[in-house]
Amino acid sequence: MGSTITEKILAHHAGVEKVTSGELITARVDLALANDVTAPLAIEAFRKMGAERVFDPRKVALLPDHFAPARDIAAAENCALMRRFAREQGIVHYYEVGKVGIEHVLVPEQGLVLPGDLVVGADSHTCTYGALGAFSTGVGSTDLAMAWALGEIWLRVPKTLKFVYKGRLRPWVGGKDLILYTIGKIGVDGALYRAMEFSGPVVEELSMDARFTMANMAIEAGAKNGIFHVDDVTREWLKGRAEREYLEFSSDPDAEYERVYEFDVSELEPQVALPHLPSNVKPVTEVGEVEVDQVVIGSCTNGRLEDMEVAWRILKGKKVHPRVRLLVFPGSQEIIREMASRGWLESLVEAGAVISPPTCGPCLGGHMGVLAAGERAVSTTNRNFVGRMGHRDSEVYLAGPAVAAATAVLGRIAHPEEVA
């Protein structure tokens, strides 16, 4: 019996020939990251462990992105604590405001994760980096502190669910629609404790940005990790980013899968997840008349250049509906710079969008764009739980950037074809 890509990466980092699902391993870590919400607890646990130095200051990343630029004094104190720790430990990949982006956009952009790596992050969307053919998973602060102290983490080898996407995508349908559709099919615990392996001809045609979006939301199905194979799209994307050698692993033809899902997505419409679960998914054409107060485009899910391009294509030369607040928050400074040089920022501002610095703030109702009671948002983010973006009586509808931009123009949830 062969091995899956996930099993091979885990075996490599555990220093063994082969691992099987269910097995307990201690694995070497290539990168261990935290943000301004999770780092303070990790630093506290690190001290309690009696640790003095991190295992390798080049393999730790610290990113103040959740409540930064600081929302209030408490947030500023957390950022300051993280900054002091970074200095004390000589952390190479500490990103100050002005350089920092949304962690799961910035970390791959900076080439910190490469194929074959094993990454743990004290943020549930750390699973994003599986798009690069790496094993990457979210952990809590104490687990992360263990990785900082010892350079290793304990893991149970997950069973793998394989998802094969066939057919040809229609216009305006992208990675977000594929992953929402998948979560809608299997449920928010449909991949609990499992690896999700994404494959098939449709996936091979996807850009890296679309793959990041899909891997990002593996956690929304309860998964431990989401993963793609390395191909020419990956290799091309890594040019100019990868500054060290990397290993390409791939699943054997006789690898063992717990289950294989095959989806023909040729007829797939843009998807929308209704409140209050990411699995509460419908095609946009079946959502009905839903007026919105706010549209949010950005985040670690859909804050990349391709997402911004989709939004720009729909919004250029148009106006945001007078009832709607459109908030665009790109994932990194580099993306904002690129949007400026291509003239996209100007078009978006003229359309009536407000441009936010790269921060997680609006996605989790932290700061900037918090919803009042009774308000409704369409958002390209990843969670639509009760109270996720603000008041417990507010509502979040999840969608890709095309539906979000069309919705911003029409003031109600709309198919991109209605405006494009």
**Beta bridge partner(s), residue 199:** 164
Window of 6-14, 286-294, 304-312, 387-395 that interacts with other proteins by CB under 8 A = 387-395
- Is 258 near other proteins (CB under 8 A)? no
Cβ nearer to other proteins, comparing 52 with 418:
52
- Is 366 near other proteins (CB under 8 A)? yes
Q: Which of 27, 119, 149, 183 binds other proteins (CB under 8 A)?
A: 149
Segment 281 to 340, residues that bind other proteins, using CB under 8 A? none
Window of 177-185, 209-217, 299-307, 382-390 that interacts with other proteins by CB under 8 A = 382-390
Cβ nearer to other proteins, comparing 139 with 413:
139
- Residue 175: name the closest of 334, 304, 339 by CA: 304
- The token pair at 278 is 């990411």
Q: Which of 80, 99, 171, 189 binds other proteins (CB under 8 A)?
A: 189
343-360 burial, b for 16+ CB within 10 Å, e for fewer?
Answer: ebbebbeebbbebbbbbb
CB of 67 to other proteins, least distance (A): 6
Alpha-carbon gap, residue 152 to 145, rounded angstroms: 10
**What number of other Cβ atoms are within 10 A of residue 333's Cβ?**
18
Alpha-helical segments (H) within 174-304:
175-186, 201-204, 208-216, 232-238, 299-302
Binding mask 338-357 for other proteins (x = CB under 8 A): --------------------
Cβ nearer to other proteins, comparing 156 with 168:
156
How many residues bind other proteins (CB under 8 A)? The answer is 54
Alpha-carbon gap, residue 173 to 263, rounded angstroms: 15
Please answer whether residues 255 and 238 qualify as being in contact, where contact means their C-beta atoms are separated by less than 8 angstroms.
Answer: no
Cβ nearer to other proteins, comparing 142 with 250:
142
**What number of other Cβ atoms are within 10 A of residue 98's Cβ?**
8
Alpha-carbon gap, residue 399 to 296, rounded angstroms: 10
Cβ nearer to other proteins, comparing 115 with 369:
369
- Is 138 near other proteins (CB under 8 A)? yes
Alpha-carbon gap, residue 177 to 131, rounded angstroms: 16
- The token pair at 349 is 């501002």
- Is 119 near other proteins (CB under 8 A)? no
Cβ nearer to other proteins, comparing 160 with 234:
160
Beta strands in 49-156 (DSSP E): 60-63, 93-94, 118-121, 135-138, 152-156
Residue 283's alpha-carbon distances to 116, 178, 358, in angstroms, are 35, 11, 29
CB of 144 to other proteins, least distance (A): 9
Q: Which of 59, 159, 162, 224 binds other proteins (CB under 8 A)?
A: 224
CB of 63 to other proteins, least distance (A): 14
Count of CA atoms in the C-beta half-sphere (13 A) of 418: 17
**How big is the chain, counted in residues?**
420
- Is 368 near other proteins (CB under 8 A)? no
CB of 248 to other proteins, least distance (A): 27
- The token pair at 155 is 């893991």
- Is 383 near other proteins (CB under 8 A)? yes
Q: Which of 115, 270, 358, 365 binds other proteins (CB under 8 A)?
A: 365
Instruction: Please provide residue 38's backbone torsions phi and psi, each rounded to the nearest 5 degrees.
Output: -95, -25
Write out the residues near other proteins by the rule CB under 8 A. Answer: 24, 37-38, 40-41, 44-45, 48-51, 66-67, 71-72, 74-75, 77-78, 121-124, 126, 138-143, 145-146, 149-150, 154, 156, 188-189, 192-193, 219, 222, 224, 277, 364-366, 370, 383, 385-388, 392
